[in-house]
Amino acid sequence: MIDPAPAELFIGLMSGTSQDAIDGVLAEFPADAQPRIIATRSTPLEARLRRQLDELQRPGSGDLDLALRLHHELGHRFADCALNLLSTARVPPHAVRAIGSHGQTVRHSPEGTAPYSLQLGNAALIAVRTGIATVADFRSTDIAAGGQGAPLAPAFHQAVFGTTGRRRAVLNLGGMANVSLLGADVSGWDVGPGNVLLDLWALRHLGQPFDADGRFASTGTVDASLLAALLTHPFMARPPPKSTGREDFNPRWLDGLLAGFPNLHPADIQATLAEFTAVGVVQALASQPEVEVLLVCGGGARNADLLRRIARRLPALDIGTTSRAGIDPQWVEALAFAWLARQRVHETALDLGRITGARQPVILGCIYMP
């Protein structure tokens, strides 16, 4: 009788386009069972760091010295998160097979003659400080193979949420929103902004980094003309595979549109931005009648107003968070990068052709040894 392969421990570190925090998980991956989260950690990014990241990402700008300093600083932040996870769980570094660090995206441009996706967060520094092999730069190989480099999570969503008789989709409401259609032929794509515009407007008018529970949006009224203008963004009409980021949906673009609507109340603008996010989701799912269940994750899963808007437009769907399937929605993305690190360590090629458009299966990520 052959003994089963032992369970392995991996750490996943994630900072998304919302730029609000570094989320980390320490997870156990049995050979033939679902992963189990052992410890979690969320480390907020302070306002100064968020402002610097915003400065770096303004269209047409780019300070190389600032980028390198943030690369170093974020590397320390990711390492701190990993070390705090180990301390909380009382797990020694040598017990962890690898860390999967997504980094912080500051540029994502998968189209054109020189496609790329750039994440900051020095993985070599993370490896040296933690003493654990660190996998990073998950997107470049997919782009080299002709893919969008995003979204990468649908393959993970299929692995952990796809084993059910009812046809499921997963909606990640991070800074950007993306959907995963689970099943034998898993597919997925970015559908438009998730929280990024909502957070921007909440910061301006509430002095808060986000609209808690969507309460600000719930006091406003959707302006049909502004919603129609938002929906004219070229990304919304593009067919998948497609991915997006702050290059498409940013303060400059939004302010340019709002210049044509000078008399709208701020709460009405917030309500319209929430409806814009909801419509992007609906456009992706309305043509998928076989989907019965929608599992929501990411920061937007805590926005009750946004979920109500989506549910009103998709009344036939059974909508809930990924907690129904055993994973808290806050930790799904970090767990995905622990899973992706596991695929890299085991040299497992992923076929993402129906997701990113890559021409061939590829092994994602580069390994940095301590």
Taking only the tens place, the pLDDT of each residue in 183-216 is 989 999 999 999 999 999 999 999 999 999 999 9
Average pLDDT value for the chain: 95
Return the pLDDT at 59: 67
pLDDT tens for each residue of 303-326: 999 999 999 999 999 999 999 999
Q: Can you tell me the mean pLDDT for 287-297?
A: 94
Write down the residue that tokens 């458009």 correspond to.
357
Q: Can you tell me the mean pLDDT for 91-110?
A: 97
pLDDT(162) > 80: yes
Q: Which amino acid is located at 166 in the chain?
A: R
Closest CA to 65 of 76, 56, 77: 56
Burial class, 54, CB count within 10 angstroms (exposed 0-12 / middle 13-18 / buried 19+): middle
Return the pLDDT at 2: 52
Write down the residue that tokens 């990113």 correspond to.
356
Return the pLDDT at 1: 46
Q: What is the sign, positive or negative, of the torsion defined by CA atoms of 299, 302, 306, 308?
A: positive
pLDDT(71) > 90: yes
Domains of the chain in start order, with CATH, are 8-146+329-368 (3.30.420.40), 153-325 (3.30.420.40)
Using alpha carbons, list the distances in angstroms from residue 8 to 35, 89, 126, 312. Answer: 10, 15, 20, 42
pLDDT tens for each residue of 238-289: 999 999 999 999 999 999 999 999 999 999 999 999 999 999 999 999 889 9
Q: Which amino acid is located at 162 in the chain?
A: G
Return the pLDDT at 296: 98
Closest CA to 50 of 191, 153, 175: 175
Q: Can you tell me the mean pLDDT for 43-64?
A: 86
